[in-house]
C-alpha cells in the first residue's frame, strides 16, 4: 500500500512514522525545506509514547514528485486544505481515497468539492505530538483516532483502514456518524487550542488561573450556543464538565502554540474564528470568542 501524507508537521510525522513502522510505504509532503532534507538524509526520528525509533519514510516538498497513492492523508492547517486537495487529486490512484484528520470545520466539504464525495473519508485524532526540530518529533499524548465514511456506511476500505491504524498503534475507532464526532472535537479544540496558544500554557495549567478558567468557560458556552442554534448533535452529554476534566490531566504543548512559535499561520479561522463568523450570521453574541480570535490574529503578525 502506498500512502502519501500531505502536511509533515507534528501530526503528519506522527502518523507517517507509525504507519511506516506498520509496514506500508509512506511519503511525507511539506514545504519546509530543512525538515524535508533532514528526513531524506537521516530518516524521521521519533520519541515519546511509542518509544524511540527512526522511521524510514520518503519525503519531498514538491507533491508532483510523490508517488501515486492508494491513500492520501490530509494533515495540513485548514487554510491550506484546498491546495492539499488539489495535490491529492493528482496523486490518487483510480480507486484511491483521501482521509482528513484535521482540526476545525469545513475541511470535509472542501475535499469533497475537489475530489468528489465518494473519495473522501473523515476522521480526527486525539493524539498529540511536538515537532522538536527538523526531522524530529516527540509523541506527547495518546488517544483515539476516529474514522468514518461520511454517509455512515461500513465499507471494505474503512475496515482496511481500521486494521492498518490498529497495526500502527493509533487506536482507531470507527464511528457511525463521523460528523457528530468532528463537531464534538471542534468544541473541544475551541475550548483549548487558542487559549493555550495565547498564554503559552498547557491545558492542565488553565484551571490554576481562576480568571483564565472562567474565560475558558465562556468560550465553551459560546461554542455550545452555536452548536445548539445550528441544531448539531455532539457526543458529550456534559461537554463543559468533560472538557474541564480532560484539561486537568493534560500537560502537552498544543499544536497552535507550535505554529505560533515557528512563525506560521494558525487554523484559528476554522476554530474560534468559525464560531465568530457563524454566530454573527445567527445573531448570537460571542465576545469572548471574538476577543480570543483577534488576539491570535495579532500574534500571527510577524513584523520585519
Extract the C-alpha cell encoding 18.
Answer: 507509525
Confidence band for 112, pLDDT divided at 50, 70 and 90: very high
Beta strands in 150-188 (DSSP E): 172-174
- Residue spans of the domains in the chain: they are 2-176, 180-300
Extract the C-alpha cell encoding 291.
Answer: 476577543
pLDDT, one tens digit per residue, over 184-210 is 999 999 999 999 999 999 999 999 999
Per-residue exposure over 71-97, b if at least 16 CB sit within 10 Å of its own CB, e if not: bbbbbbbbebbeebbebbeebbeeebb
Cα dihedral sign for 30, 23, 178, 196?
A: negative
Q: Which fold has domain 2-176?
A: Rossmann fold (3.40.50)
Looking at every residue in the chain, the average pLDDT score rounds to 96
Confidence band for 303, pLDDT divided at 50, 70 and 90: low
pLDDT, one tens digit per residue, over 52-84 is 999 999 999 999 999 999 999 999 999 999 999
Q: Using CA atoms, how far apart are residues 185 and 210, in angstroms rounded to an integer?
A: 24
Pairing of strands 128-133, 53-55: unpaired
Whether the full predicted model's pTM is greater than 0.75, yes or no, is yes
| 3-state DSSP assignment of residue 72 | strand
pLDDT, one tens digit per residue, over 258-288 is 999 988 899 999 999 999 999 999 999 999 9
CATH architecture of 180-300: Orthogonal Bundle (1.10)
Instruction: Report the pLDDT value the prediction gives residue 16, as an integer from 0 to 100.
Output: 98
- Radius of gyration of the chain measured on its C-alpha atoms: 19
What does the chain come to in residues?
Answer: 304
Residue with cell 520518503: 58
Q: Is 79:267 a contact under the CB 8 Å cutoff?
A: yes
Amino acid at each position: 500500500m502506498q500512502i502519501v501524507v500531505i502536511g509533515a508537521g507534528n501530526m503528519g510525522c506522527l502518523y507517517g512514522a507509525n504507519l511506516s513502522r506498520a509496514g506500508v510505504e509512506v511519503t511525507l509532503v511539506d514545504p519546509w525545506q530543512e525538515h524535508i532534507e533532514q528526513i531524506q538524509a537521516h530518516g524521521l526520528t521519533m520519541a515519546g509514547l511509542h518509544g524511540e525509533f527512526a522511521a524510514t519514510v520518503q519525503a519531498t516538498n514538491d507533491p508532483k514528485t510523490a508517488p501515486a497513492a492508494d491513500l492520501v492523508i490530509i494533515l495540513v492547517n485548514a487554510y491550506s486544505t484546498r491546495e492539499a486537495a488539489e495535490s491529492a487529486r493528482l496523486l490518487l490512484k483510480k480507486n484511491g481515497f483521501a482521509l482528513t484528520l484535521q482540526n476545525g470545520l469545513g475541511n470535509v466539504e472542501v475535499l469533497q468539492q475537489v475530489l468528489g464525495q465518494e473519495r473522501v473519508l473523515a476522521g480526527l485524532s486525539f493524539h498529540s505530538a511536538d515537532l522538536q526540530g527538523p526531522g524530529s518529533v516527540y509523541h506527547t499524548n495518546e488517544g483515539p483516532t476516529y474514522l468514518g465514511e461520511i454517509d455512515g456506511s461500513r465499507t471494505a476500505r474503512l475496515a482496511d483502514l481500521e486494521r492498518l491504524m490498529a497495526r500502527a498503534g493509533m487506536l482507531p475507532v470507527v464511528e457511525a456518524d463521523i460528523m457528530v464526532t468532528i463537531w464534538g472535537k471542534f468544541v473541544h479544540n475551541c475550548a483549548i487550542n487558542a487559549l493555550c496558544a495565547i498564554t503559552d500554557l498547557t491545558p492542565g495549567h488553565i484551571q490554576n488561573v481562576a480568571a483564565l478558567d472562567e474565560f475558558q468557560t465562556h468560550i465553551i458556552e459560546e461554542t455550545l450556543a452555536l452548536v445548539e442554534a445550528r441544531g448539531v448533535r455532539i457526543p458529550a452529554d456534559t461537554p463543559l464538565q468533560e472538557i474541564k476534566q480532560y484539561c486537568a490531566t493534560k500537560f502537552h504543548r498544543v499544536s497552535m502554540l507550535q505554529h505560533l512559535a515557528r512563525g506560521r499561520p494558525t487554523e484559528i479561522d476554522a476554530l474560534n474564528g468559525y464560531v465568530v463568523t457563524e454566530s454573527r450570521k445567527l445573531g448570537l453574541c460571542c465576545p469572548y470568542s471574538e476577543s480570543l480570535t483577534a488576539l491570535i490574529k495579532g500574534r500571527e503578525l510577524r513584523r520585519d
